[in-house]
Every structure is written in structure tokens, then in C-alpha cells.
Structure 1
Amino acid sequence: MSLLLLSFLLIIPILLLLRRKRKPSKRVPPGSLGIPVVGQSLGLLRAMRANTAEKWVQERINKYGPISKLSLFGKPTVLIHGQAANKFIFSGGGNAIANQQTQSIKMILGDRNLLELTGEDHSRVRGALVPFLKPESLKRYVGKMDEEVRKHLEMHWQGKQQIKVLPLMKTLTFNIICSLLFGVERGKQRDQFLDSFQEMIQGMWSVPINVPFTRYNRSLRASARIQNILKEIVQKKKIELKQNAASARQDLISFLLGMVDEDGKQVMSEKEIFHNIKLVMVAGHDTSAVLITFIIRLLANEPAIYAAVLQEQEEIAKGKLSGEALTWEDLSKMKYTWRVAMETIRMFPPIFGGFRKAATDIEYDGYFIPKGWQVSETLVCVFLYP
């Protein structure tokens, strides 16, 4: 009897194992994960730098269909394509999707930036940033931006027979960012800032392998240098605000330092200020530079549109004194110019995509996406990262 019982006990695990094997597994999309860690990251990065990312995505869709698996930036990935996928992602997937970026972006910008925060922390930091960045607040900075544009044109455009637009637009947007966000004027500190910033953003989309001489490693070191510069700026502005030698409205850093809650406590910590200043820098730099570049290309290739924009600008200039700065009221008169800018954004979106995370287990179109997988939407597809 004991021998029969022992035999039965030994057979139970085997029966359970066989039953588990017969149970159908969750459906996994077709495709290959490629080389561990690297996967298809290098191919996508090459396509993005060559401005052929849409073609790269379309080739995968042609090969595997609208849903496929691959590996990007050190993580297994699911690519989902189509209007239904974009609607699902942009609507939040029924609260199934939360904010989260790739490891490289998180480490370069810092874990206290707005894209990484959730719940009360997200609301608190967003509430601190939005008042300064909304159009009503930006009205007072139109003259400062106009001054930067005038200086830029004098230095880099006037008298030149040939120019490269995109690099110059990146320089222009960076100078406006330095003036508007930090109050850092032209000089040695701004030049150091620019060199480190350009090196930092090169590794935003990269395989997160932190070894010497990699793009990711160089970006991390550049990010650390930027944070040290920001520390110096913050300490200087703290002293100026304490001595009433500066206004809390003169730039973003001063504004954030001056924000306190009901108990008189600073709303954002210094670490949060550093990380979110880097976020605002990145968010406003390449996107603006790319958009302005495409607008200039459009005006160069479409004489009728160029003539209409020029006429509108000349009408506004007639009402200004020589050298007088633009105002918010002048900008409100640029209705045709604004429509040209909006149409350019529609035709040539300056952002390839962003990243989120599955907050719960998700079933989509017959496939299973486990909780914790990262989600990235692009203009032509949606990427999902575990």
C-alpha cells in the first residue's frame, strides 16, 4: 500500500507538468529579438539620423504585419501599427498605461523629471512648471526672444552667401533657452553650456551600455557637467532673490525657486529643478529647431507662400519704429504665418515618439502585453518595451 502511494505521489508532478505543457501559452507576436541588448537599436538609430525612420518601420510592417516583436535600447519590444493602436495609446489605454521613458533618457535627464513622476508628485511638479510656460506668462518675454533673434541674424545670416539652416537654428533655440530659462547671457558660461548640451542630447536615444567611449557614457558625463553648471546658477540666483537683487519672474529658475507652498516650503526640490530644467531644455530645443528649418525650406520652395508671409511681416513692420522690439500684440497679427507653421507641423512632425509603461496586464488585438512593459508611441507606430 505504501509503495502504491509513493508511486502515485511521484506521478503527480509529472502529470501536472504534462498538463501545463498542453495548456496553450499567451500569443507572442512574430519577429526576432536579434542580438541580446543591442537587438535592432542600431538599425533604428541609423534610420532616425538619416530621416528614414518611417521607411524602417514600414519595412517591418511589410515583413511581419501590424504587430511584431523586436529588441530596442536593451529591452524586448512589441511594435504596433495603425490608427486603432495610436488611439489606444493616446487615450491612455483605459488607464492601463503610465508615464515612463527608456533607461537612457531616464538616466540622462534624471529620475525626478516630469516624465518619470506619477500621482501627487507629477501634479505638484507640473503645477509648478505650467504657470511659467503658458502663453499668458510668455507675453512678457517676447522682447527678450526678439533681441536674441536680431543678434543671431546679424552674426550668422547678414552678408553670408551660403548657410546651413539646421545647425544655426539649433544655436538660435539654445540661445533663447539660455536667456529665457536661466538668464545666462552670452559669454564663456553659455558656450560651455552649449558644448555639454549638444553632447548630452546625442545619447538620449542610445543603447544604455555605460562603458567608456560609448555615446551613452559621453551623454551621462555631459549631463553631470550640465547639472554642475545649474548648481552654480541656482546658488547665485538664491542669493540674488534673498537680497532682492532679482525678480522671481525674470527666468524659469528664479520662478521655480520663488514658488513656495502654504507653509513657506519650496514647492520643488533643487534636484527636481535640475532634472526638469534639463527636460525643458531638451523638449524645446530640437523640436523648435527642426520646425523652423522646415518652415524655411517650405518658404524657399513655395514662392506664393513666401510672398504672403513676407507681406504680412512687412505690414507689421510698418507700424514699428526702427529697432523697436516685437510685442505680443504684434505676434497676434501674424495669422497667416501661424497657419503656415501649423501646416508645417502637420506635414513634418518634429517628434518621432515618446515612451510610456503598461500599468496593468494588457490584451491588445489578440496579443498579451504584461504589466511593467514600457510603451512608446511614434508618429507612424507604437513601440512597447518590457
Structure 2
Amino acid sequence: MDYLPIAVALIATASSIAIYYYLFTRAKKPCPPNLPPGSLGLPVIGQSLALLRAMRGDGGGRWIRERIDRYGPVSKLSLFGTPTVLMAGPAANKFMFFNSALSTRQPPSVQRILGKNSILDLHGADHRRVRGALLEFLKPDMLKMYVGRIDGEVRRHLEENWAGRATVTVLPLMKRLTFDIISALLFGLERGAARDSLAGDFVRMIEGMWAIPVNLPFTAFSRSLKASGRARRVLEGITREKKARQLEHGHGKASSNNDLITCLLSLTDGHGDQLLTDEEIVDNAMVTLIAGHDTSSILMAFMVRQLANDPVTLAAMVQEHEEIAKNKADGEALTWEDLTKMKFTWRVAQETLRIVPPVFGNFRRALEDIEFDGYFIPKGWQVFWTAKVTHMDASIFHEPAKFDPSRFENQTVSTTPPCSFVAFGGGPRICPGIEFSRIETLVTMHHLVRQFRWKLCCKENTFVRDPMPSPLHGLPIEIEHIASP
């Protein structure tokens, strides 16, 4: 269902009130000094619809570039009802990622669905506390113990959903694969009815996360809220069960059998009290479910799309993975040491993320009056950054439209300025799940390129954003099974 007409109607209604207020009050408010160039447009509407329309056809990057060409790398506009400053370039990215006067800001719909205690909306000491707790589970020393289990999930997925098929649709399958991996490793939820039910609610939850937050029966947001409530009850139940088990057997450090929730429950502060509340654990488990699902599944789908028409890159990947496989017994699971040898495959992944970053951009909110590049940014204004600006800058990445994994082979500060490649963000809020995503991607691609060859079903090789990128029709492909695992 297309909610754009509903969005237009709601925004138009709000605008009629806002315009009246704007016209009769603007003269009373002094204009802040030295604001960036640009226009805020009409109240409430601003440039929101123009940007959303551009993003639907993957024209968001071009829309941003045209704005930069017109106003420069720093300009003001209005997005989603809030005065906003668009900032572009490595220096601007660094300013946003490392400035303590800027906090993250999620749309109201995201906060209501994921919870008020999620790491996405925390700032200062609370953010550091929750992030530190998550990193206890997501650090490499813990993750390397799960490579074998991820390997098992991938093998089972390919056997059940790819083998024996003439065609498959890649993106939905990759999303289910990453969901299954997260369910098992992060929540300890094994295969069965409970996991299948959670998967269905998860899909419905995602559909309304970036919708207009109007809780009416016919809206995507309403369906998403209900699905979020059901998913939250499942995670609350898992948390209670694991907490009771810990109390029964005594607290202990996380072991190789622990999942994320067990790990978080075992962490204590300096007084011996549980570091995170049960509500914080559930809220951040919801965030981890979303974050660990979308980035990896989208990355792998677009790698499949690239390899379909790039025989040179595919051949190099196959050679890398066959070298690893020939030193292993049949059916033997991959190890952390095997992943360290997949350097070319990860460069292919990085180049895919450069050209098609899963996250188009994000917002920060000014906690106080700040200044950048001589321009004044008032307290309460949004600051908006986009990955595509630096990713497709020819002065940073030579021939940016060309797919060239070698550009990540010997990156140095002299060739690539800091905060130029920002597929995972940067600074204190850089995605804590980078290593988890890397493991999922490398293990999946190892088995995929050794077992299958494929070609695209759609001649038109395009994608849209809503707001995450999605290949046309979910990327249907014709597949041929070429080898046993």
C-alpha cells in the first residue's frame, strides 16, 4: 500500500495551521545571525516530500548533490517539520560524529516502536553504559566462538531455500537468513514455531518504522506498533526465563554458550547490581534485531547483484574461497582463522557498501548553539549527513561510479581522508555490530560462490529506497547448483 497520499493529506492539514502561525509570528522572532544559505520552505512541509520522492527512485544522492551545487556543502532546509542543516564532506562528517553537542535523533515512529531506552536515542553517560554492555557481547573475542554456529545456519539455509530451485528471490531470503542467525545467537531462540512467529512480527514491525506516526487501524504504523508489542512480549519472556535460570544457578561470566540477553543480564556495576535494567535489555535487543538484520541482508543481496555481471570479481572470490576449502575436511565448519583469509571478499563487501550504503544518512540534534565552517546552527535544529556525498566524491574515490574493490586494499590517510567511508557511521556511535556483520557476510558468501552460479532475471538493474535500498522486485535470479558444500 502506498502511504504517500495519506502523508500529503496529513502534512497539508498541519501546514494550514502552521502557515497561519508562521505568517503572524515570524516578525516577532529575530533571525539568528549567519545561518547557512538556503530556504526552510513552507512550514512543516519544507523539503521533506521532495527528498522522499527523490529517494523512491534512488535519486536521493542526486538531489543532495544538486543542493550542494546550489548552496555549497553547508545549507539550511526543513525536513520532517524541523529546521535542518545539511552538512557534506569529510570534515562535516567528522564534526558530526565526534561533537558532544550533537545527539542522535530518531523519528518519533522509530522511538515508539523500539522503546525509549534504545541506544539510538541515548546520550552521554547512558549511551556509554549501554554501548559498553553491547560491546561485551559483540567484541571479536566473543564473536569468534560463534563462527561455527553461523556456518551451520548458512548451510541449512542454502540447503532448504536454494538447492534444487531454478529461481530464487534474493533479498527476502537474505533477510530470513540474517533473522535466523540473530534469533539463535543473540536471543538463544532455536528453530520452531516461536522463531517463525517472531519473524512474521518482525517484518510487520519494520514496515511501519519510518511511517507517519498516526495510530489508526488502517495505517502501517498501527500494524507495526501491534507487531512491536508482540515481539517485545516474546523478548520479555526470554529475558525473564534467562534471569530466573541465572538466579537458580548463580551469576557467572558469559561463556561460549551465552547469547546476548544472557550476557547483558550477567553484567554488573561497581556495586554488584545488574548493569542494565530488564527494560533496557529488551529495548536494545529490539534495536539489535533491526540493526543486525537490515545491513547484512542488504549488503549480501547487492553483492549477489554485482557478481551476476562481474565475472572477474566473481572468479577472484571463488579462487579465494576454494583455497580455504581445500585445507578443510568435507563438512567441516569455518573458523575465525578462515575468515581472516577472506580479505578480497571483504574488500568486495566494502566497495558494495560504498556504492550502495544501506543507510542513506541520519540526523543529529544540536543540544546547544554551535558553529561550523563559520555558520551558526541554533540549539534544537537538526543536522543531517548522508553517506553518498563522500562515497561518490571523485576527489576522494577515483572514478566513483566504477566498482573497484582494490581501492580498499591499501587505504591511508593521504589517499582517503578520515570520515570519508561512512557506511557504518563513525565516532563514538559507529555501528557496534561491524564485526558481526562481517562474519555473517563472509560465511554466507563462502558457501554461496562455491555452490551456485546465477544470473539476473530482471534486465533493468535498478533499486529504490524506502528508506533502505531494495533491488528491483527483491532481486529474482536464475540459479544453477555447481558443487556440494
For this structure pair, what is the TM-score category when the shorter chain's length is used for normalisation?
Answer: 0.7 to 0.9
**In structure 1, distance between residues paired with 2:388 and 2:313:** 28
Q: CA deviation at 1:126?
A: 1.6
Secondary structure of 2:168's match?
A: coil
Are the equivalent residues in 1 in contact too, given 2:40–2:47 (CA < 8 A)?
Answer: no
Q: CA deviation digits over 1:215-238, x for unaligned, max 9?
A: 333322222221111111112222
Aligned pair 1:282/2:287, yes or no? no
Aligned pair 1:268/2:256, yes or no? no
Q: Any residues of structure 2 matched to 1:287-302 within 5 Å, and which? A: 287-302=295-310
Aligned pair 1:71/2:78, yes or no? yes
Q: State the partner residue of 2:366.
A: 358
Secondary structure of 1:114's match?
A: coil
Change (3 A) 1:98 1:113: same
The one-letter code of the counterpart of 2:309 is N
Are the equivalent residues in 2 in contact too, given 1:73–1:207 (CA < 8 A)?
Answer: no
After TM superposition, the structure 1 stretch with the greater mean CA deviation from structure 2, 364-373 or 176-185, is 364-373
Q: CA deviation at 1:91?
A: 3.6
Change (3 A) 1:25 1:115: closer
Q: State the partner residue of 1:315.
A: 323
Q: CA deviation at 1:42?
A: 4.2
The gaps in structure 2 that reach 5 residues or longer are 1-26, 391-485
The one-letter code of the counterpart of 2:51 is L
Are the equivalent residues in 2 in contact too, given 1:109–1:223 (CA < 8 A)?
Answer: yes
Are the equivalent residues in 1 in contact too, given 2:86–2:383 (CA < 8 A)?
Answer: no
Q: CA deviation at 1:265?
A: 1.2
Q: 1:304 aligns with which of 300, 312, 316?
A: 312
Q: 1:330 aligns with which of 318, 338, 354?
A: 338
Secondary structure of 2:120's match?
A: helix
Q: CA deviation at 1:275?
A: 0.9
Change (3 A) 1:104 1:374: farther
Q: 1:216 aligns with which of 189, 211, 221?
A: 221
Change (3 A) 1:183 1:43: farther
After TM superposition, the structure 1 stretch with the greater mean CA deviation from structure 2, 273-282 or 214-223, is 214-223
After TM superposition, the structure 1 stretch with the greater mean CA deviation from structure 2, 194-203 or 68-77, is 68-77
**In structure 1, distance between residues paired with 2:55 and 2:65:** 13
Secondary structure of 2:267's match?
A: coil
Aligned positions, number? 360
Q: State the partner residue of 2:384.
A: 376
Q: CA deviation at 1:109?
A: 1.6
Q: State the partner residue of 2:87.
A: 80
Are the equivalent residues in 1 in contact too, given 2:40–2:83 (CA < 8 A)?
Answer: no
Q: CA deviation at 1:140?
A: 0.5
The one-letter code of the counterpart of 1:44 is L
Are the equivalent residues in 1 in contact too, given 2:202–2:228 (CA < 8 A)?
Answer: yes
Larger helix proportion, structure 1 or 2? 1
**In structure 1, distance between residues paired with 2:63 and 2:118:** 30
Q: State the partner residue of 1:138.
A: 143
Q: CA deviation digits over 1:333-367, x for unaligned, max 9?
A: 22222222223223332221222211211234554
Are the equivalent residues in 2 in contact too, given 1:69–1:77 (CA < 8 A)?
Answer: yes
The gaps in structure 1 that reach 5 residues or longer are 1-19
Greater Rg over alpha carbons, structure: 1
Q: State the partner residue of 2:119.
A: 114
Change (3 A) 1:22 1:97: closer
Q: Any residues of structure 2 matched to 1:200-239 within 5 Å, and which? A: 200-239=205-244
Normalising by structure 1, report the TM-score: 0.84
Q: State the partner residue of 2:23.
A: none
Provide the alpha-carbon RMSD of the alignment. Answer: 2.8
